[in-house]
Amino acid sequence: MSRAPPDAAGDLFAANLKGSLLAVASSAFIGVSFIVKKKGLRRAGAAGPRAGVGGYGYLLEPLWWVGMITMLIGEIANFVAYMFAPAVLVTPLGALSIIVSAVLAHFILNEKLQRMGVLGCVLCIVGSTVIILHAPEEETPSSVEQIWHLATQPAFLCYMAFALVVSLILMAHCAPRYGQTNIAVYIGICSVIGSLTVMSIKAVGIAIKLTIEGINQAGYFQTWLFATISAICIIIQLIYLNKALDTFNTAVVSPIYYAMFTSLTILASAIMFKDWSGQSISSIASEICGFLTVLSGTVVLHSTREYDQTISPDLYTPLPPIYWHIQGNGETVKQKEDDSLSADFITVVRQDYFV
């Protein structure tokens, strides 16, 4: 989208400010929801099949639903934020949810946040501030038909085709084989589908905003198509995000999901809405630097946190050494290190004696 005339700059700044505040509130709720849902998934996993291996017992866990409601509140705030501000501004602010989840995980989930984690939090805050100060001023489309025109541009159609092909490959081929061992599979699905979710949600949000302002958009089929795409994408995201949270540590899921999801969303928004059209090179460079600063903060935050000890440490307790001996009559026996050795035993130290 092109920039608005100078006389509308004040209104666009106010809209960006509203979007920023809503995005920050959204991050707080979503950060809390990560922790609450994780607790619910742990409880459900203790009583039956885990979500990571296809179990759906968490649907009967009240704590998981509390987390879902909290996330829903955060997503609603995020949804409204997209009505006022461009995705290039709203999406990177999601990093603040990582700070919230990191601090709460330290106290609630015993996923320890080390001292360097404070530096990661500071980097996220600094980067987010830079992004807010240099965010583009996006003119709101005047109808859902205009958004449909943007969505059917050849460039964005190519991106959608790429996203769908990658998602289908990850879901049909990679997830059954590598989902439990490679975090990029589940997070990749969430991120690629998530970039399409944001675009469709932004379209629905703008349609609702225009309808509230008196320009009814409910009569356009595009409005309902965008709403259907949003619902489908959100369901897919929730399924695979639950799998990722149940299979891997929150300290790993949050930053990787943020990095992949935000990068792809910024790319999709730049293609569809032309967010950077009309901006100076210095402003675009500042936004990119701000995003890289936030990304660096998430990496530092991740690298200084401990992993879940999901497997009993007793499994890793070293066993006492065992020595093999051959008696004079050729019979092979074994002894532990603390057993007394008979003078008649000959210690064998070469492995090829037993091949």
Contacts of 257 (CB under 8 A, 6+ apart): 187, 190, 191, 241, 244
Residue 305, helix vs strand vs coil: strand
The Cβ of residue 315 has, within 10 Å, a number of other Cβ atoms equal to: 6
Angle (CA) 81-229-16 rounded to 5° is 15
Contact 131, 319 (CB under 8 A): no
Strand ranges across the sheet with 332-336: 332-336, 322-326, 346-347
Give the pLDDT confidence score for residue 224 in this predicted structure.
95
For the chain, the first-to-last Cα distance in angstroms comes to: 73
Where residue 120 falls among pLDDT bands split at 50, 70, 90?
confident
Contact 44, 58 (CB under 8 A): yes
Give the pLDDT confidence score for residue 78 in this predicted structure.
87
Average pLDDT rounded to a whole number, residues 246-261? 79
The more confident residue out of 12 and 163 is 163
Residue whose entry in the numeric block shows the structure tokens 């946040």: 113
Where residue 208 falls among pLDDT bands split at 50, 70, 90?
very high
Closest CA to 205 of 272, 163, 262, 147: 147
Which pTM value belongs to this model? Answer: 0.69
Contact 244, 211 (CB under 8 A): no
Give the pLDDT confidence score for residue 52 in this predicted structure.
64
Residue 2, helix vs strand vs coil: coil
Contacts of 89 (CB under 8 A, 6+ apart): 16, 19, 20, 23, 131, 132, 135, 136
pLDDT tens figures, 265-320 = 888 988 898 877 778 889 889 988 988 998 888 778 767 655 544 433 333 344 44
Contact 345, 327 (CB under 8 A): yes
Average pLDDT rounded to a whole number, residues 239-250? 84
What is the longest distance spanned by two Cα atoms in the chain?
Answer: 103
Mean pLDDT of the residues in the chain: 80
Q: Which helix (H) or strand (E) holds 146?
A: helix 144-151
| Portion of the chain with pLDDT greater than 70, in percent | 80
Burial of residue 106, with CB atoms counted within 10 A of its CB: 0-12 exposed, 13-18 middle, 19 or more buried:
middle
Give the pLDDT confidence score for residue 310 in this predicted structure.
44
Give the pLDDT confidence score for residue 23 in this predicted structure.
92
Contacts of 101 (CB under 8 A, 6+ apart): 31, 32, 34, 35, 250, 254
